[in-house]
Structure 1
Amino acid sequence: MKFSRIAAAVTTAALAPAVLMASPAFAAGPDAPATGTQPAPTAPDQAVPDPTVPDQAEEDRKTILAIIAHPMASEFMKEAGRKAIADGPKAMRKFIEVDQHNIRMDDYRIAILRLLPDAGPGLKEGVNKVLTHGNTIEKLRHFYDVTQHELRDDDNKVEISRLIGTGGTGVKEAAKKALKGTPADRAEFLKTGRYLAQAQDDLVELARIDEGWDGPILTEAISKLMDGSPTPAELRHFLEVTQYELRDQDNRVAIAKIIDGAGPELLKAGRAALAGTPADRTEFLKTGQHEARAKDKAAKDKEKPAPGKGGDTKDNNTGTGTATTGTGTGNTTVTAQGNNGAPLATTGAGDHTTLIAGGAGTALVAGAGLLLAARMRRAGAEG
């Protein structure tokens, strides 16, 4: 008897690696073993039944019942075992000697396919290779029991090395420690440790932003965030998204103050910036306002009467317009720097993988002191 599911698994194993990687849903059927569990051990072959033994059929039935009662037996194994019992002695003998082994190989293939969704590049390549060339149950079992864990750890090492190259001080130190540890240490770092270390780096970045920014809206938001014992995910979102929204609000306020009572060119440029993009407002505060002021001053100087052409020469040479002498700088910082001076990522809080919420407040208490110290230094400087 050739089971259709076994044929499907064999056909899938013969496909190109790209097809296998694109089709992890093959392993999601109800007949597959649960994720992270190994298929049940294969029952040993039974000797050819002795026709003089009247109870051989009963012994085969008990053997099959034991196979399908195993906690890791797949639904397909159970279904095939029950059918063999119902079909009689010959079917039971065939199930014990042939069918159970074929089904077990199919179960291993499905269990291996289910490794793909969260696998790194090395493990994905290994899965495709074993499904293409793993034509014995011994090869499949060894891959599932041993090789997959070795490949997963290799992928973890690569990812941790990448974080060392791109992360802040806290992330770098924690990542180097994980590389020197055990495979379990590396897995734990990627699961939780990296996010707690990133939170400490984010606190340092918040202190830097708070010390260098003059706008009240962003400064107040930073204080409120820190008073609420934020989680690592909340810190990330604030640095990647919220801070830029609040910077723009501060810039709007600064521009409104600059154009209040300004000359025509400065007023025109300021209104255009307010109607434009956040980048337009940043550019206006950085350079546009000064260019507009220069135009207003040039126009006013041109309107002055020439010396000796009437009026009080002394007054004409010394008078100045208030619109050309006023100044306003606003906040011209374009981009806040992330970890280790690198621009912050724009992936958002969902591209990361799982972030740690519970217990994060305690882990961030030490970093909050950085913010307080920065503000004390700024207050001393202003005093």
Structure 2
Amino acid sequence: MSAVVAAAVLAPAVLFPTAASASDTPKPTGISGPDTGSDSAKDTAPEQGDAQEQRDRAEVERILAESPAESWSRVHEGAEKALKGTAADLRHFLEVELDDLRKSDNRLLAARIHSAGGPAVKAAARAAINGGDEAIAEFLKTGQFTARAEDEDRARVEAILADPKSGRGVREGAEKALKGGAAELRHFLTAELPKLRGDDNRVKLVQLMDAGGRAVREAASKALDARTDEAVEAFLNEGFAKAQFEDDRVDILRVIADKESSSYTVAAAQKAMDGNAEAARHFMTVELPRLRASDNRVKVSQIIETGGPAVRKAALVAFDGNDADITAFLKEGWAKARAEDEAAAAAAKPGTGTGNGTGTGTESGTGTGTGTDGSGQQPQTVQPAGLTETTGTGTTTRTGTTGTGTGTLASTGTDGLGWEAGGAAAALAAGAALVVAARRRSTGSTES
């Protein structure tokens, strides 16, 4: 029993040191164990190669997405080809091909921008192409945008110059800016234009105020009193049209009330009166001048029928002309021609002969007024044809006709023409009376 117990106690002490010493004992020099280090190296190399290929592939895909998807882009074409190849193809594309392909694409892109660009872009692109690859790259990065801004500014200035609403000051400033470069164009648009436009607006406002009616003058004066560019611009954009409509309606009412307006003109005016601002402005600026011209031509045709020789001659010349000739005749030519006819009638009025009862004198004339005989005695009343009057020591026989006027020829048109709305009736009545008078003179002259 003692031996068994002793063995049980001693067994762990014997077994554990033995295991520890066995594991700690160095291996014999000539014996090799499992090569764990070599297996780890073999597993790492493929993993590193796969990671590099993945990075290269991602980079080529990015380049492909950023390059123009056009047939002319060699970078796009090369990237697509590399992505279809091996890891070596990807690496060769990135390290060898890409730089040359980019230079080729840049040169072609600069040429395309030159073809489609404005003056400044063309000049900048041409200079870049002549400057080499670095100049082209700089042009594509920044230069083209600076040049485009200059072209946009130039286009804006040209549009301002061509705008019929631009005033004299703005046009002069625009012309000066267009002769300069980018700095001059930018300075005109940002610094000069607002001030020049404000000055021109004030000049335009004063012109409208001088030519406008009461409502326009009042609105313009109010805008000037505000002393701000905004108030002047508001008047030009909105206030003027509103005030002009008020003045147009007043003018249309005058046309309707004017006795010189024909029935057609009055009807058109009444229609415009019932319309809006656009209709009123169209009537005053387009319809009324045409209707007035038609009315004037009718009036001249009536004058031709009723006027004296000089009046008829001048009226016919005007009638064969344009509207301006018609207007000039009615304002000045008609009165001048009537004066000629009156002068001719006055020259034909005095008679010849001897008086004071010792001879006979013949008087000719028209009218129931008084005239002088050839002796220079006091005026005597004209008697009907064949009437003998005895005065003093002899007899004086006067022959002549009695008229209905007051010593002027009725056919000269010196009394003018009545011109009511649709005044043909008055003109015809006057013409008929003149024809009757002319016939009476003709009859009286034949009897004498």
Superposition TM-score, scaled by structure 2 size? 0.44
Bigger Rg, which one: 2
Superposition TM-score, scaled by structure 1 size? 0.50
Question: Bigger relative contact order, structure 1 or 2, given CA contacts below 8 A and separation 6+?
Answer: 1
